[in-house]
């Protein structure tokens, strides 16, 4: 087991380095520091001297990957890539281009707001989706099942924006049950979090229920389910004991990979509800053309995805006895 | 006489389908006494398994339902019970084992959990007592080390061991009736023999009645007391096993029996049944076998022949045995197939060597540890020598895991062998690269086992066949390719218009014909048949074997027949090589192998095949003049 995890993490090392290089190419080569300076200083009426000043102030006045003017190790270290991108490997995100704030510190501060919304949304959401999916699978082929699937398809076809705006209007403005948007610190945040959580869950129900129902139905037609029935077990026992544990295997792939992203929050939800989380942070950075923050968040997203994949592989070995570690 | 354990009276199980009501079981009656074995035989889709599921009250709802009849368990009708009462019977009074031991156990629970679940459901036992009983049952079914096995997951067990676990679960509550639905079909021949022996022991020691469902007639001959031959939802012949095999009376039974391959039929065509089982939504009004019957008469399709006793203890549903019907005006023959089978011999004069395999080795590396270092090799094929002669068939036999499929794939270079020579017409295929081997690819073809998964479902038959011609015969133009496809489809007994259809529109037998057509389309000289007839019903298998024999005769083809089915080998092969653990343990002509096996393993294999006595085979004649 331990060897397996170590090997899995070792496999991730070259991928992380590759992601780092690709991010650098995207942000320093495709989109050069000159472009960044121009976008920040205004496209028109900008003098070459102003661009050079901006680049020097923000540390972009070096060659991208190789510095021919230097000798020895410095040819590699005195570059934008080494100064700006390589430190990401040990999560040193540097400072933002615009307000010179510490990006790492900001991420640490803001992720709690993201988690306050995403964790309850994730956990309660899965529980509700699984429950509805099991009910539909139990009553498969009946009108309840058919109309349940129709409803799920309708719900997944409606845009998330509709749920957000509709929810804010009905539950927030008309019924005055929750504040429409905003955030507070500590326990005071609870009343601000409830509305986005409810809306997030409703928005995801269609896709979730439909997917989990399909997974359950696939398991229900397996041979071992027939064996379980032939033993004289009740349908509920067959479904909740024998089918559920097997259905967890495909469910896990879908779910575990997204766990690290809970830190990241949701771009749209956080913007609409004015939650000061990482999603909001990213959107603001995009709007203000702060490439240092955007680059950090893109890189962080890739890293979280890689962690998600590793966690998925490890969780397989826990639920499926057929997966071996060798 | 005491009450039979189970009495089935006029059972009807129907399914609601978009095409109308499918009468899967359409009025079936039989009974099984305590300690008796009743066998239901027939082709796939005849309603055997649905009958079994009806008895254990597991017809798939809501589409399927019991439309009529009675099922009496120890004299008590169980069809009308509540779901709760039915559950108390399932797994307790009536239990069932299935065809697929590999998938019939839940992969995420230990086998101990799975047997104890049944025990605690039906018996008042503490978990410690259930555990003791579980281990006792494992011991009874011949599983080694019950104490450690009880904590194992199913994937750690072989197919034969899993079937033993299934039997242990089924017997743990001492059922009155054990339903065995094709219990050995998916297993190796020696394991089959052990499982059948185990079921027999159980029956003798406990008096459990057994319903055996199988298409293997030799198995029935060896094990069942009474047989019901089922065809299209009805039992068409019902009698003691010895009567059935001595004097089969229904034309369907005779046809079925004569389609079994075996040594005594070498050089002759196997008997086949034309057409397919009619769909359960549209049976003929009269005899369901009308339309396929070799001795059909004018009234057969309209008048239903009732199941009637026509000889002592021998009931049959056929007008040919009804003196009244035969005297009437409906008995004018519509069809009269000759009784004698046509000869089908491949010319065996040319004996020059086509393929010579010398010291072939295919090893797979085993990797372990943090850095996946190679720690050893699986010697799948470990130095085998084979010779295939022109126009002849060499059978490579052995149990699963012995390396025979790897050997076949290595010979045709689908897998690169580790060492050895493969001399095809004098050239060594093992030394060639992708470019130099290309001219040989069209001469060497393969036909796979599973006709369902080996055709691409998204490609029309024409495209599947044409793909091979395009690659291997690039000189041919579009019109020539199409002519070739028409020609090969016609040769394998399909019509040319079928080339525009997709695989799902064909039956298993037809798909295997398509597989043969695909191989034939590039003018091969040598075909590897990897378990090519193993997945087919015996009647369909006979058609495909006849087809293979006739194309061998017409094109002078050589076959390497990879199989575990020895009765097929005895029928079709000229020479046999027996493989065990990556090595060839015995090589000889078929006649020699079957009459004087030398190696112990060969002897063991031969002893394990259930056989029907040869003198009986000669008695199987179609009824009527």
CA distance B481 to B470: 8
| Residue B547 belongs to some domain of the structure | yes
Of B266-275, B376-385, B569-578, the one with minimum mean pLDDT is B266-275
Q: Return the structure tokens found at A113.
A: 């707001």
| Angle, helix A244-256 to helix A103-138, in steps of 10 degrees | 150
| Residue B371 belongs to some domain of the structure | no
B624 SS3 class: coil
Cis peptide before B278 (omega within 30 of 0): no
Question: Please, are residues B558 and B478 in contact by the beta-carbon 8 Å criterion?
Answer: no
Look up tokens 């190419």; give the residue: A25
| Residue B255 belongs to some domain of the structure | no
CATH fold group of domain A118-288: MetI-like fold (1.10.3720)
Beta-strand pair B353-368/B419-424: antiparallel
Which 178-237 residues of chain A touch chain B by CB within 8 A? 222-224, 226-234
pLDDT of residue A3: 81
In degrees and rounded to multiples of 5, residue B560 shows phi and psi of -110, 110
Chain B residues near residue A322 by CB distance under 8 angstroms: 107, 153, 155
A·B CB contacts under 8 A: 76
pLDDT digits (tens, 9 = 90+) for B39-70: 999 888 889 999 999 999 998 877 889 999 99
Interface of B with A (CB under 8 A): 56, 58, 62-63, 87-92, 95-96, 98, 100, 103-109, 117-118, 121-122, 153, 155, 166, 169, 367-370
Q: Return the structure tokens found at B136.
A: 């006792």
Note whether B62 contacts A246, CB cutoff 8 Å: no
pLDDT of residue B2: 75
Looking at the 3D structure of chain B, how many domains does it have? 2
B620 SS3 class: coil
Chain A residues near residue B100 by CB distance under 8 angstroms: 223
What is the nearest CA distance from A141 to chain B, expressed in angstroms? 8
pLDDT at B200 over 60: yes
Q: Which residues of chain A are under the pLDDT cut of 50?
A: 326
Q: Return the structure tokens found at B61.
A: 């709802």
What is the nearest CA distance from B233 to chain A, expressed in angstroms? 22
What is the nearest CA distance from B104 to chain A, expressed in angstroms? 4
| Residue B194 belongs to some domain of the structure | no
CA torsion sign, A38 to A44 to A50 to A51? Answer: positive
| Residue B283 belongs to some domain of the structure | no
Beta-strand pair B64-73/B76-77: antiparallel
Look up tokens 């001297």; give the residue: A49
When pLDDT is averaged across residues B581-590 and rounded to a whole number, the result is 92
When pLDDT is averaged across residues B452-480 and rounded to a whole number, the result is 88
ipTM of the complex: 0.83
Name residues whose C-beta falls within 8 Å of residue B210's C-beta, 6 or more positions apart in sequence: B32, B36, B37, B38, B177, B178, B179, B180, B199, B203
| Residue B93 belongs to some domain of the structure | no
Considering chain B, what is the average pLDDT of its residues? 89
pLDDT of residue B625: 63
Looking at B111, B141, B173, the residue that finishes a domain is B173
Q: Return the structure tokens found at A8.
A: 């899995």
Note whether A232 contacts B369, CB cutoff 8 Å: no
pLDDT at B343 over 80: no
pLDDT digits (tens, 9 = 90+) for A294-324: 888 888 988 999 999 999 888 888 888 887 6
Looking at B121, B154, B173, the residue that finishes a domain is B173
CA torsion sign, B265 to B266 to B271 to B277? Answer: positive
Note whether B103 contacts A223, CB cutoff 8 Å: yes
What are the C-alpha distances in Å from A128 to residues A131, A135, A247? 5, 11, 16
Q: What is the 3-state secondary structure (H, E, C) of chain A?
A: CHHHHHHHHHHHHHHHHHHHHHHHHHHHHHCCHHHHHHHHHCCCCCCHHHHHHHHHHHCCCCCCCCCCCCCCCHHHHCCHHHHHHHHHHHCCCCECCCCCCEHHHHHHHHHHHHHHHHHHHHHHHHHHHHHHHHHHHHCCCCHHHHHHHHHHHHHHHCCHHHHHHHHHHHHHHHCCCCCCCCCCCHHHHHHHHHHHHHHHHHHHHHHHHHHHHHHHHHHHCCHHHHHHHHCCCCHHHHHHHHHHHHHHHHHHHHHHCCCHHHHCCCHHHHHHCCCCCHHHHHHHHHHCCCHHHHHHHHHHHHHHHHHHHHHHHHHHHHHCCCCCCC
CA distance B175 to B557: 53
Q: Which residue of B has its CA nearest to A227?
A: B104
Q: Tally Cβ neighbours within 10 Å of residue A201.
A: 20
Which residues pair with residue B6 across a beta bridge? B32, B73
DSSP codes, B85-105: HHHHHBTTTEEEE-S-TTTSS
When pLDDT is averaged across residues B228-244 and rounded to a whole number, the result is 94
Q: Which residue of A has its CA nearest to B178?
A: A230
| Residue B165 belongs to some domain of the structure | yes
In degrees and rounded to multiples of 5, residue B572 shows phi and psi of -100, -25
When pLDDT is averaged across residues B242-267 and rounded to a whole number, the result is 89
Question: Please, are residues B199 and B164 in contact by the beta-carbon 8 Å criterion?
Answer: no
pLDDT digits (tens, 9 = 90+) for B90-111: 999 999 999 888 889 999 999 9
Query: Range of B161's domain?
Result: 102-173
Question: Please, are residues A118 and A111 in contact by the beta-carbon 8 Å criterion?
Answer: no
pTM for this prediction: 0.83
Chain A residues near residue B368 by CB distance under 8 angstroms: 326
When pLDDT is averaged across residues B380-392 and rounded to a whole number, the result is 91
Q: b/e per residue, B283-322, with b = 16+ CB within 10 A?
A: beebbbbbbbbbbbbebbbebbbebeebeeebbbbbbbbb
Note whether B92 contacts A232, CB cutoff 8 Å: yes
Name residues whose C-beta falls within 8 Å of residue B184's C-beta, 6 or more positions apart in sequence: B163, B191, B192, B195, B196, B214, B216, B219
pLDDT of residue B1: 55
Note whether A223 contacts B117, CB cutoff 8 Å: no
Of B45-54, B75-84, B211-220, B266-275, the one with minimum mean pLDDT is B266-275
CA distance B62 to B60: 6
pLDDT of residue B251: 93
Q: Tally Cβ neighbours within 10 Å of residue B625.
A: 8
pLDDT of residue B355: 92
pLDDT digits (tens, 9 = 90+) for A223-281: 999 999 999 999 889 988 899 889 988 888 788 888 888 888 788 888 888 888 898 89
Note whether B88 contacts A232, CB cutoff 8 Å: yes
Question: Please, are residues B22 and B232 in contact by the beta-carbon 8 Å criterion?
Answer: no
Q: Return the structure tokens found at A72.
A: 């020895």
| Angle, helix A291-319 to helix A244-256, in steps of 10 degrees | 160
CA distance B254 to B260: 11
CA distance B463 to A308: 42
Question: Please, are residues A217 and A136 in contact by the beta-carbon 8 Å criterion?
Answer: no
pLDDT of residue A326: 45
How far is Cα of residue B325 from the mean position of the Cα atoms in its chain? Answer: 37
What is the nearest CA distance from A138 to chain B, expressed in angstroms? 12
- Greater confidence, A4 or B500? B500
């Amino acid at each position: 087991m331990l060897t397996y995890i170590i090997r899995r993490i070792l496999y991730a090392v070259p991928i992380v380095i590759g992601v780092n290089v690709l991010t650098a190419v995207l942000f320093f080569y495709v989109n050069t520091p000159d472009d960044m300076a121009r976008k920040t200083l205004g496209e028109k009426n900008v003098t070459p001297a102003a661009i050079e000043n901006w680049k020097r102030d923000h540390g972009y006045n070096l060659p991208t990957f190789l510095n021919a003017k230097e000798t020895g190790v410095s040819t590699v270290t005195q570059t934008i890539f080494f100064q700006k991108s390589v430190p990401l490997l040990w999560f040193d995100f540097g400072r933002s281009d615009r307000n010179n704030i510490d990006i790492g510190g900001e991420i640490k501060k803001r992720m709690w707001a993201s988690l306050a919304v995403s964790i309850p949304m994730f956990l309660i959401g899965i529980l509700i989706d699984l429950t509805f999916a099991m009910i539909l699978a139990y009553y498969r082929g009946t009108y309840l099942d058919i109309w349940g699937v129709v409803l799920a398809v309708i719900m997944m076809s409606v845009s998330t924006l509709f749920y957000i705006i509709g929810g804010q209007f009905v539950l927030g403005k008309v019924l005055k049950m929750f504040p429409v948007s905003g955030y507070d610190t500590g326990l005071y945040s609870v009343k601000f979090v409830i509305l986005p959580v409810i809306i997030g869950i409703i928005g995801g129900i269609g896709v979730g229920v439909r997917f989990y129902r399909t997974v359950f139905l696939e398991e229900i037609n397996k041979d071992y389910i027939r064996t379980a029935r032939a033993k004289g077990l009740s349908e509920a026992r067959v479904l909740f004991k024998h089918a559920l544990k097997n259905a967890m295997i495909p469910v896990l792939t879908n779910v575990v990979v997204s766990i690290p992203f809970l830190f990241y929050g949701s771009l749209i939800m956080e913007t609409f509800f004015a939650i000061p989380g990482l999603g909001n942070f990213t959107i603001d950075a995009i709007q203000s053309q702060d490439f240092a923050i955007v680059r950090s968040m893109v890189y962080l997203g890739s890293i979280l995805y890689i962690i998600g994949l590793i966690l998925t592989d490890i969780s397989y070995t826990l639920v499926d006895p057929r997966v071996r570690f060798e | 006489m005491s009450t039979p354990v189970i009495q089935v009276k006029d059972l009807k199980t129907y399914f609601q389908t978009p095409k109308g009501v499918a009468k899967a079981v359409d009025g079936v009656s039989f009974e099984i006494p305590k300690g008796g074995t009743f066998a239901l035989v027939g082709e796939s889709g005849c309603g055997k398994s649905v009958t079994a599921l009806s008895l254990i009250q597991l017809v798939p709802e809501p589409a399927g339902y019991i439309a009529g009849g009675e099922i009496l368990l120890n004299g008590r009708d169980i069809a009308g019970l509540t779901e709760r009462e039915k559950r108390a019977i399932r797994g307790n009074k009536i239990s069932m084992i299935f065809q697929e031991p590999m998938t019939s156990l839940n992969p995420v629970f230990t086998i101990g959990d799975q047997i104890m679940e049944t025990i605690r459901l039906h018996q008042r036992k503490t978990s410690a007592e259930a555990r003791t009983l579980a281990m006792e049952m494992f011991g009874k079914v011949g599983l080694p080390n019950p104490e450690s096995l009880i904590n194992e997951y199913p994937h750690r067990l072989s197919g034969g061991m899993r079937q033993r676990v299934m039997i242990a679960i089924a017997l743990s509550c001492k059922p009155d009736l054990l339903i065995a639905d094709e219990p050995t079909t998916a297993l190796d021949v020696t394991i089959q023999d052990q499982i059948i022996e185990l079921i027999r022991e159980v029956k003798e020691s406990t008096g459990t009645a057994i319903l055996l469902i199988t298409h293997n007639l030799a198995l029935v001959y060896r094990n069942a007391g009474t047989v019901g031959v089922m065809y299209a939802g009805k039992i068409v012949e019902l009698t003691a096993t010895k009567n059935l095999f001595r004097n089969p009376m229904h034309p369907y039974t005779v046809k079925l029996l004569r389609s079994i391959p075996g040594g005594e039929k070498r050089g002759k065509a196997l008997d086949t049944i034309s057409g397919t089982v009619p769909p359960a939504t549209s049976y003929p009004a009269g005899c369901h076998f009308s339309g396929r019957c070799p001795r059909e008469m004018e009234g057969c399709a309209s008048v239903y022949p009732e199941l009637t006793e026509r000889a002592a203890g021998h009931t049959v549903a056929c007008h040919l045995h009804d003196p009244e019907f035969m005297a009437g005006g409906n008995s004018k023959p519509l069809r009269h197939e000759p009784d004698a089978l046509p000869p089908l011999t491949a010319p065996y004069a040319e004996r020059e060597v086509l393929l010579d395999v010398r010291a072939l080795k295919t090893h797979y590396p085993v990797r372990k540890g943090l850095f996946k270092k190679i720690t050893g090799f699986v010697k799948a094929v470990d130095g085998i020598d084979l010779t295939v002669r022109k126009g002849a068939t060499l059978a490579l036999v052995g149990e699963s895991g012995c390396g025979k499929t790897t050997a076949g794939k290595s010979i045709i270079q689908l897998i690169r062998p580790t060492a050895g020579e493969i001399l095809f017409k004098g050239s060594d295929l093992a030394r060639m690269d992708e470019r130099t081997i290309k001219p040989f690819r069209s001469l060497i073809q393969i036909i796979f086992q599973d006709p369902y998964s080996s055709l691409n479902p998204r490609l029309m038959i024409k495209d599947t066949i044409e793909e091979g011609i395009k690659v291997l015969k690039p000189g041919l133009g579009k019109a020539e390719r199409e002519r070739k496809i028409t020609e090969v489809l016609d040769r394998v007994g399909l019509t040319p218009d079928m080339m525009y259809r997709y695989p799902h529109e064909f039956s298993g037998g037809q798909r295997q014909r398509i597989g043969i057509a695909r191989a034939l389309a590039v003018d091969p000289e040598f075909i590897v048949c990897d378990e090519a007839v193993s997945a087919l019903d015996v009647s369909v298998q006979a058609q495909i074997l006849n087809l293979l024999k006739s194309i061998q005769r017409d094109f002078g083809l050589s076959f390497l027949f990879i199989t575990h089915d020895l009765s097929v080998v005895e029928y079709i092969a000229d020479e046999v090589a027996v493989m065990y653990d990556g090595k060839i343990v015995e090589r000889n002509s078929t006649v020699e192998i079957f009459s004087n096996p030398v190696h112990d393993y060969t002897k063991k294999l031969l002893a394990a095949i259930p056989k029907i006595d040869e003198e009986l085979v000669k008695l199987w004649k179609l009824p009527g003049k």
